[in-house]
Amino acid sequence: MADSNRATFRRFHDVLNTGDAEAISKIIDEVVAPDLIFHAPVPMGATGVQALKHVWTVLLRAFPDLRVEIEDVIAEGDKVVVRNTVTGTHRGEYRDLPPTGRSVRYDEIFIFRFAGGRIAEVWGVVDVFAQMRQLGVVPGGAP
């Protein structure tokens, strides 16, 4: 089960890094359960698959060159845990902040629980503080 889940996650991840919103929406429909339970530090009114699609719409609008590099993957039983480094350039509105043209680099960790071969639940820990500091919202960021 762990190897199959890891392979599904890799397919999902590879499409996320294309920056192609339509392809991302299709892979979400393919590998994510419609009633996904999504725990992440993202304010929104959407739930399930729509919440995940909303996150990617917002991220790609704000950071069209967004790149998620996998640092570690651990798969055991019905879970896949991933530690990532995210990079991108702020070219669109993000969290009510107009484009700054600044680059960001931040870390995140996600736990994906699988059921029936699909992602059924996601927990995310994103270093939003580092992101906001680099965008100049929090003191100590790049000028």
Report the half-sphere exposure of 47 (CA within 13 A, side-chain side).
2
* Model pLDDT, residue 140: 74
Question: Over the stretch 6-45, which tens digit does the pLDDT of each residue have?
Answer: 999 999 999 999 999 999 999 999 999 999 998 876 656 6
Domains of the chain: 2-134 (3.10.450.50)
Tell me the pLDDT band of 51, cut-offs 50, 70 and 90.
confident
Tell me the pLDDT band of 142, cut-offs 50, 70 and 90.
low
pLDDT of 141 > 90? The answer is: no
Placement of tokens 């919202």 in the chain: 137
Question: Over the stretch 66-111, which tens digit does the pLDDT of each residue have?
Answer: 999 999 999 999 999 999 999 999 999 998 999 999 999 999 999 9
Average pLDDT, integer, range 119-138: 94
Contacts of 33 (CB under 8 A, 6+ apart): 49, 115, 116, 118, 119, 120
Stated pTM of the model: 0.90
* Model pLDDT, residue 23: 97
The C-alpha atoms of residue 81 and residue 72 are separated, in whole angstroms, by: 8
